[in-house]
Structure 1
Amino acid sequence: MTWVRFPRANALFVFAISLLATKIFALILAEYRFYFPANFEATFLLGRENSFHGVYAVAFYTHLIVAPLTLLLALFLVSTGLRSMATRRRGHRLAGRVQAGLVIGFLVPSGLVMATQALAGPIAGVGFMCLSLATGLSVTATAVTAIRCQLKLHRRWAIRSAILLASPLLLRFLAGAAFMLQVDSPEFYRVNAWVSWLLPLAAYQVFCVFVSETPHRWRRFLNPFAESRSRDESLQVD
């Protein structure tokens, strides 16, 4: 019975992570009430009265509007990329084009501008600049591999893009955990600016290598839904 419990445990783990990510996403959106109009007593805008004008203000509001849209589109693209229905493929292609335009045309440029005035100084700023550039490169590679019909590479680049677009959720989670543990500091923020996207990206890369070299019997453990699907199919045959 062990092989039956593992997939269920993994599915519960994925569900719990999804709930946590949804909660963090909702908390981020809840803070938007401090930005329309700009409240310089809010945490993120504290002390930015002198710099919040011109290009930075435009980049700030552009990023504020586009970032949630690209994250939701990334989730849609990853989920529909696993389906093969013709109607879903058409929606997937359209959403992919919109995603590429939003990320390359708006999200990356605004992220680069905002990174020049990152909290905790230039170390954090360079981290966010690298995140913006990595996101742009990943989305570009996703589009190029789709055009070339390199489906395996396309899926992997799409997941990398989704990880990078979701990295602000991990950034916020780690910042909240640091605050609760009373270890929040400018030094922690600098580390968080790098770890929040490099760590999940590296973890996914290790996962790709591990899965490609893993025997078939262990893939059922790594995929929480594979075993239940195969078991249901066998019951239908019987």
Structure 2
Amino acid sequence: MATLKTLALGVIALLGAKVVASIVLQYGDYFPPNFDSAFLVGREKSFTGIYPPAFYAHIIVGPITLLLAAYLMFSGKRKTHQKRHRQLGKLQVLLVLAVLVPSGLIMSVWAFSGPIAGVAFALQSIATGLTAALAARYAMLRKLATHQVWATRCFILLISPLLFRLASGVLIVTESESVEAYQINAWLSWTIPLFAYEVWRMRKQHAKKPRLSEQASLEAIS
């Protein structure tokens, strides 16, 4: 079981790295902006004012926060990484709250396919900022178990754009791409992973209760 879990995590990591690499490789279409490229097509009118700075800040900081999030998840329970974990955790919270969330909110106003997707992206940005802030707060309070829960939620929200890209790729390959599909993807790409995590966490907590009750009974008998 442990081998299968390690293998699955390795496959997920490689898949995530591939998606991040494909995003970074598209930067050639953004400097300067190529409005015939996949993401910028039809955005000539919206690519003015505050949108370009928000767009560039978002695409530069986004991969950095993803890499930081992956390291923080890896290093959280390793004593040899504690000092660096705290330092990079502070940097992560700063980048998320000062750059990623504000730029995401600005971009959501001009979201492709309209306000339905825009609201999804805006709420996702707010949720990301909230989970990062709460993870930092509980770390400062030394409530590490609660910190880990909020940090995991933040990690899920940070990787959800990768899931959005993967789903978009599937839609393109299967010739199912549409405005409605884009809007659904904008919501499900982050709500379903969060929901799945909460279900897993609740089941894990329920599984612990019988063990604790059994242990308490044994102690009472002894």
Q: Which TM-score applies when normalising by structure 1?
A: 0.85
Residue of 97, 100, 105 corresponding to 2:93: 100
The alignment covers a number of residue pairs equal to 209
2:15 to 20, 23, 31: 20
The yes-or-no answer on 1:67 pairing with 2:52 is: no
Q: Name the amino acid aligned to 1:40.
A: F
* Residue number in structure 2 paired with 1:58: 53
Rounded Cα–Cα distance in structure 2 between residues aligned with 1:138 and 1:31:
29
Structure 1 alignment gaps of length 5 or more: 1-5, 217-238
Partner SS, residue 50 of structure 2? helix
Aligned counterparts of 1:215 and 1:208: Cα–Cα separation in 2: 11
| Residue 206 (str. 1) matches residue 195 (str. 2) | no
Q: Which runs of 4+ in 1 moved over 4 A?
A: none
Which whole-Å CA distance do the structure 2 matches of 1:200 and 1:47 have between them? Answer: 30
State the TM-score, normalized to the length of structure 2: 0.91
Aligned counterpart, 1:46: 41
**Aligned amino acid, residue 29 of structure 2:** F
Report what 2:169 is aligned to: 176
Q: Map Cα deviations across residues 122-167 of structure 1 (whole Å, 9 max, x no partner).
A: 0000000000000000000000000111100001111111110111
Q: Output aligned runs, 1:123-162, within 5 Å.
A: 123-162=116-155
**What are the ranges of 5 or more consecutive residues in structure 2 without an aligned counterpart?**
210-222
Deviations 1:47-94 (A, max 9, x none): 111221220011000101111111111111111102123xx2111111
Q: How does 1:209-220 map to 2 (within 5 A)?
A: 209-214=202-207
SS at match of 2:189: helix
Shift of 1:215: 5.7
Q: Does 1:78 align with 2:73?
A: yes
SS of match in other structure, 1:141: helix
User: What residue number does 1:165 align with?
Assistant: 158
| Shift of residue 7, structure 1, vs aligned partner | 2.1
2:175 is matched by which residue type in structure 1? Q
